[in-house]
Amino acid sequence: MELNNYEVIIGLEIHCQLKTNSKLFCSCPAEFEKEPNINVCPICLGFPGVLPVLNKKAVELALKLALALNCEINKKSTFARKHYFYPDLPKGYQITQYKEPLAYNGYLLIDNKKIRIRRVHLEEDSGKLIHTANETLVDFNRAGVPLVEIVTEPDFRSPKEVVSFIEELKAILIYLDISDADMEKGNLRCEPNISLRYNNYPSERREIKNLNSLKNVYQALEYEIGYQKSLLEKGKKVERATLLWNEKEKRTEIMRAKEEEEDYRYFPEPDLPPLIIREEDILKIKEEIKELPKERKERLIREYNIKEEFAEIIIRDKNLCDYYENLMKLVKDKNLATNWLINEVLRILNEKNIKINDFPLKMEEFSYFLNLLSDNKLPMGNIKKIFYELVEKKITIKDLATLLPEKKEDWDRVIFEVLEKEKEVVEKYKKGKKGVIGYLIGQVVKKLEGKADPRKVKEKIIKILEED
Ligand SMILES: [Zn+2]
């Protein structure tokens, strides 16, 4: 069967670690990249008879995100126990929000397309299993770390849209300072579900677990779309399943046939009262939400008169954006500075695989360089070389002073010397062969060892010859 007219349907579940000092229901530090099993207590290990206490800070951070995602806030939300038996969960259940989540019915605009957010809720993370050759070890440092889960409607029609959404969400999380949102460190985990609809008939959806980079998200979705399409083309059915992405072989593989929701046997968490959010809490949090990435982008375009594509690149990284705005305060020619940042600095960051905060040239040095450049105080033709030497620390910012052109009197002297020596050429110029001026400029610049700006030399020569 030829599978034309099919439509890709993708929805997302995203888990994001909130930036709190302590865990969601106890006072253990929420740091898990430490020696195993040191940040644990009877509460996060689920000993009998202990009571969880909700972390207020985690609620505030999740609320902030929900508001930034244009959600409605549930004035009363509740917690539930989600039961499953797996060694990473010592209690045998995970505390999460189920029937009444913290927030619902939001959206995020991606390239002017509305991606609807079904719900935003709080839940605790599980422990981490470490598989060695002979045994499986478990580290509970991560058990109980606060997560916010974002569930979208199946509004994505391509892997590209999914990647744009995650990029935008990451930027929002970082701007709001509520998560580091670093996928590689596991503080942002993405689980897409994919199905294909053809002839208005949707196939079963398959879910891919724990994707830990945008590249993996993109490749796994592309693979899965191709795979489901090939099944349907052969007239086969797509079976519901939970998948893992095999990064090495670049294909999805079945982790388990999808369990139904009732398998989790959700029921209300008896040890936690409902979470009540007051109108004044919402207003207070709204006030704390300053400028979101989209608004900052629009302001950059307005304020610095830069191209949208440049603004888009700059806002993606909050530190880069802060750097940019500080740089703008120091430079004379803002256009020139923007171009140098986008074209040269970002290329060097890419090459060296470093972030702006690790750029070897300090901002004061960079702006000094840019200001010399805009004042035409650097030798033309050598500028990129000088810049790379500065970055590589082969020359210092002080050395730039010696690169400044000779004093004007020296120029004049050299120009007169050249004109004196090249009398025949000067004659040609005076008879109308204006093109020979290039030769005269070349002679002057050569004598000045490249330290003079040819444009200025040209002006000067013309002035002298016309006055003659
Ligand atoms: Zn604890």
Tens of pLDDT, residues 7-61: 999 999 999 999 999 999 999 999 888 899 999 999 999 898 899 999 999 999 9
- Residue 385's SS3 state is helix
Question: Alpha-carbon distance 224 to 403, whole Å?
Answer: 58
pLDDT at 98 exceeding the cut of 80: yes
Residues with CB under 5 A from ligand 1 (ion): 26, 28, 41, 43-44
Q: What pLDDT score was predicted for residue 273? A: 96
Cα-to-centroid distance, 54 and ligand 1 (Å): 12
Cα-to-centroid distance, 190 and ligand 1 (Å): 26
The band of 158, judged by pLDDT with boundaries at 50, 70 and 90, is: very high
Cα-to-centroid distance, 46 and ligand 1 (Å): 9
Hey, what are 446's tokens? Answer: 């050569």
Q: What pLDDT score was predicted for residue 468? A: 64
Cα-to-centroid distance, 84 and ligand 1 (Å): 20
Mean predicted lDDT score pLDDT of the chain: 90
Do the strands 206-208 and 241-246 form a parallel or antiparallel pair, or are they unpaired? parallel
Average pLDDT of span 365-375: 90
Greater model confidence, 214 or 384: 214
The band of 408, judged by pLDDT with boundaries at 50, 70 and 90, is: low
- Residue 131's SS3 state is strand
* Residues forming a β-bridge with 76: 276
Q: What pLDDT score was predicted for residue 263? A: 73
Query: pTM score, two decimals?
Result: 0.80
User: Under a CB-based contact definition with an 8 Å cutoff, are residues 148 and 62 in contact?
Assistant: yes
